[in-house]
A and B are shown apart, each in its own frame.
Chain A
């Protein structure tokens, strides 16, 4: 277990509406994978790597985020020393600005970084799905006496719809160039894509913040790119980044990826578990009319209908005669008799009345707002 690092998670990076799924909640608070919220992945990765001090930069609509986190107990972050810190982001109400790691947000919460004694800071986004144990990367970071270590994934496309950052490295993994590429371009060969997760010396970070905070909204990544010559920046690989969520299509496909055993093994079934808020639901009950296949189903549900290639969250009721196909059904939805959904995402508390049929397509899943009665 390490304690020479603290964490910062930016839950305010990027404002995408996701056809209403992210209207009243940040993407970090979006329910994902049957019982999680997307933030759980960044948070659990840090906690499983031994971090016990984690700051969370909040977006303007953070109610659901704080509701989920509470005092951080379910992530073992209710500490006497350290624990979970809420860092109010300055980008409140400035929807439309797309920063990854805004220096101003950190300047605004400078004390969090000043007060701690840790050598390193691990910085990540709250809207990415991954399960990374940072112990190896930290070891390399210290061995190379790096100023900054950027976590990358070697592949031909990271799937980000806006732009992607590519690292060129020498044999020693030292970063020689940071390039940007307009997405979605699929590279012809494997490249090292920066995952928006990095390790940086705390004192260096404080210096950077002090130097650049007066320059408006600068992004930490841009500052590192400018100073590539003077800093010792290394790369460290990971293969457990599943992706980020920027569009409904992303959300849908990242979710459906979980039906693949290989993805589940990387993300959910390894030694490092993804922690989440515990609700103490009873086990899920299957009645004699249930017909379920290739689906991921959380606790507290009652299943009496047909469920195929779908993800069902906690406390959902599927009545007899229903057909739920290629759909994502969020917590506490109720699908009444003989209703059907296909390529549909039902947000929380949706009721689909008897016999109704909802259909989207793989590229354009139908999204139904929270609490709608259809």
Chain B
């Protein structure tokens, strides 16, 4: 049983440089999100819940932590005998071989992998989106429309439309125009970066694109516009749920904070559509006698003695006596010692804030920044340090 109807190709090789200190040591899909998750959990869980059992994960940038997190994919129920998760790094062949050069090039270099499973359809996914989506409904739409390429789309606020790839559709949902980041968008229908291709069409397109010397070998910038120009049947599937791209510190921060609200999809455990994650084995969290927690998410293995408000504590975080944490995200195993204050900050994994520090103290920051302070993974902030908001937004020197 080798043949699969649909194979997923998950793009997880990007550097994610706009996430600054958070991706210094790990690929973006392996960055912690909403406490117990890592960003790749959403795409992998969606695959499982959509009955897509064959997933190729294209990796390139700092893959070790990502690879060890994915393992055999068993945490997402993807360890199937006839399919499963495949980690696909760049490799050498007889005549050629190179680093992945663009999203389309990464898929092109792995055409043998896709051919091995001989699918009808290939779904292209991104490893840095937060959403819960049943791809099987999109595939059904793709078949019903007799489409050759289907783009998942979502309506975005008009004023933000120029940040996305914007589509124009006709009465039959067929796409007539696609513009990447238009200055004057003529619709608010944005591409989510999730595509279903007929494998035969995709293969042709990738080969043609490989021959274009000026191409950036990118799905959004090159493949989709070229195929539209050639008159292929390209349709827009409208997705109505929650979807966020968490490519920047600001969008990462806000997407995390949104999960504090009661109706958020992550706050409701849906046994029929579980968001799986490969969590560490930790005991329940302990709340000390002097603790005060409000409007926050707390994960397993935390110990809280101080005050936490409007914040997210990932697994294994320690919050000492007299600590105040507000509007902040503490990633796994962060330690904050007695008397420290953390405001409006993202503290990286395993970082340690010694006693009586102030992180995110009032300071001046550029008007286009929000003054979110980011502390890189594994940093030790020595006792009594004062770190101003915005002054070191993306990078803090080792102290």
Contacts and interface: CB of A to CB of B under 8 A. Distances in A.
Interface in B291-338: 291-300, 312-313
Interface in A271-300: 273-276, 278, 280-300
Nearest to A299: B300
Contacts of A259: 286
Can you list the 9 inter-chain pairs with the closest CB atoms, starting with the nearest? A34-B284, A268-B283, A283-B35, A283-B297, A298-B284, A273-B281, A286-B293, A283-B299, A292-B287
Interface string A5-43: 000000000000000000000000000011100000000
A259 B303 CA distance: 11
Nearest to A291: B292
A278 B279 contact: yes
9 contacts: A264-B283, A274-B281, A282-B36, A282-B268, A286-B297, A287-B295, A293-B288, A294-B288, A296-B286
Contacts of A289: 294
Contacts of A264: 283, 286
B251 interface: no
B321 to A, nearest CB: 13
Given A285-B297, A286-B298, A299-B299, A34 B287 contact: no
Contacts of B279: 278, 280
Interface string A294-323: 111111101000010001100100000000
A297 B269 contact: no
Contact of A281 (B269, B290, B295): B269
Interface of A: 33-35, 73, 259, 264, 268-269, 273-276, 278, 280-300, 302, 307, 311-312, 315
B355 to A, nearest CB: 19
Interface stretch (B22-30, B173-181, B270-278, B370-378): B270-278
Contacts of A295: 286-287
A73 B279 CA distance: 14
B283 A34 contact: yes
A339 B46 CA distance: 38
A44 to B, nearest CB: 9
A293 B290 contact: yes
Nearest to B311: A286
Contacts of A299: 36, 284, 299-300
Contacts of A73: 74
Interface of B: 34-36, 74, 260, 262, 266-269, 274-277, 279, 281-300, 312-313
Contacts of A33: 283-284
A302 B261 CA distance: 12
B276 A293 contact: no
Nearest to B266: A282
A285 B310 CA distance: 10
B282 A283 contact: no
Contacts of B300: 35, 298-299
A295 B290 CA distance: 11
B296 A286 contact: yes
A285 B308 CA distance: 12
B269 A282 contact: yes
A268 B298 CA distance: 18
Contacts of A297: 284-287, 298
Given A288-B295, A291-B292, A294-B289, 18 more contacts: A33-B283, A35-B284, A280-B277, A282-B266, A282-B269, A283-B34, A284-B298, A285-B267, A285-B297, A286-B295, A290-B293, A293-B287, A293-B288, A294-B288, A296-B283, A297-B284, A299-B299, A315-B269
Nearest to B270: A282
Nearest to A44: B281
Contacts of A296: 283-287
B88 to A, nearest CB: 26
A293 B305 CA distance: 9
Contacts of A268: 283
Nearest to B287: A292
A299 B313 CA distance: 12
